[in-house]
Amino acid sequence: MRSLGLSRNRCLVAGGAGFIGSNLVRALLARGMQVDCVDDLSTGRESDIVDLKRDPAFRFIQLDVSNAEDCTRFLRRHYSQVYHLACPTGVPNIELLGEEMLLASSAGTYNLLKIARTSGARFLFTSTAEAYGDPQVFPQAETYAGNVDPVGPRSAYEEAKRFGEALTCYYGRKYGVDARIVRIFNTYGPRMSPEDQRVIPQMIGSLINGQPVLIYGDGSQTRTFLHVDDLIDGLLTVMERGSNGEAYNIGGSRQLTIKQLFEAVKKATGLSGRAVFQKHFISDHRGRWPDTSKVEALGWSQKVSLADGLREMYAEFVSSKDERRSDEVTLVASFAMNGRSGRPQARV
C-alpha cells in the first residue's frame, strides 16, 4: 500500500515521458513510490504516460528543466530520489536538437542538483556511451577517459553529457549530494516510438512496411544492445546500491555488427527484406562495448535475450500499426456519416 504523505517515498523523474523515462516511472510506481514526472515533450510522448494520470501517486508536469524559474516554481516538493533523464537522445537528433542537449545536460543538471541538495535526495544522472567518443579501448571500463573531439559534429551530445557528469561529481564533492552516474549503451524495448530514428526501431519499421532497411556505412561497426527492462533494473540498482561520485556502465554484453543486427531482426520478426548502404550523415564510431563488471558487483545482470526482446518489440509495433489503421478507418467512416463535405458535423 502506498504511503502518499511521506516525502521519503517521492521521486522526481526528469524526462519521464521519454522511452526510458516512462518505463522507469512505471517501475517506481510498481514499487509503491510517488512519482513527479517532468518532461518538455520535445522528444517524449505524453501518450506513453497518459494512463498513469489516474494514479494518485503520479503527477505530470510539462517543464523544461533548463528553465531555473520554472523549476523553482513547480518543483517545490521534497524528494527522496531525483533521476535526471531529461535530454534528447539519438545521433540523428544532434543537428536538430543540439542546443537542447547542451542546455538539458548543463543548466538542467544544475537545476536538478539544487533540488536534490535541498531535498537531501539521492541523485542519478544518466550519461551515455557517447561519453567515450570513438573508443580505442575494448571493452570500455569506467576508468577509460575516452577519445572525444570536443568540437566535432557529435560534440553537442558527447560534451553535454561529459559536462553533466563533471557537474554531478562536483556537487557531490562540494555539497555532499549523494550522486551517481550511469553511462547508458544502446537500449531498445517497449514504448519506443516507431518514429524513433535509432537503429532497431528503424529496422523493424522498415521491414513491417516492406521498405529497404537503411544501414549507414558498410555495416561493420559494432554495438551492444540491452532491453529496457534490464536497464531499468540497473538504474534502480545503482540508485539504491551505487556509491557517491561513481560512474557505472550499463549495456549489453554481446557485440554485434550492424549487419549482424539486421539478420537478427529478420530472424526474430520472421520478415524478409534487403539492406541498402549509405554514407553516414555524421562521423561515426566504429564500436562500443561496455565493461559492466562494476555494476555487476552490485548484483545486476542482463536477463533479456536479444531474440526475445526483438520479438516483443516487433509485436508491439504491429499492434500499434493496427491500432492506427483502425483509428483511421473510424475517422473516415465518421466523416462519411456526417456529410459529404468531409467535415464532421457539430454534436449537440
Question: Which is the catalytic residue, given 79, 83, 157, 248?
Answer: 157
Q: Could you tell me which residues are beta bridge partners of residue 83? A: 13, 124
With cell 531482426, the residue in question is 265
Give one DSSP letter per residue of 183-239, joined into a string. Answer: EEPPEE-TT--TT--SHHHHHHHHHHTT-PEEEETTS--EE--EEHHHHHHHHHHHH
Sheet strands side by side (includes 122-128): 58-62, 34-39, 10-14, 81-84, 122-128, 179-184, 247-250
Torsion 146-149-153-158 (CA) sign: positive
175 as an active site residue: the answer is no
Q: Are 228 and 20 in contact (CB under 8 A)?
A: yes
258, burial (CB in 10 Å: exposed 0-12, middle 13-18, buried 19+): buried
Residue 113 CA to residue 123 CA, distance in Å, equals: 7
Residue 268 CA to residue 270 CA, distance in Å, equals: 6
Active site residues: 157
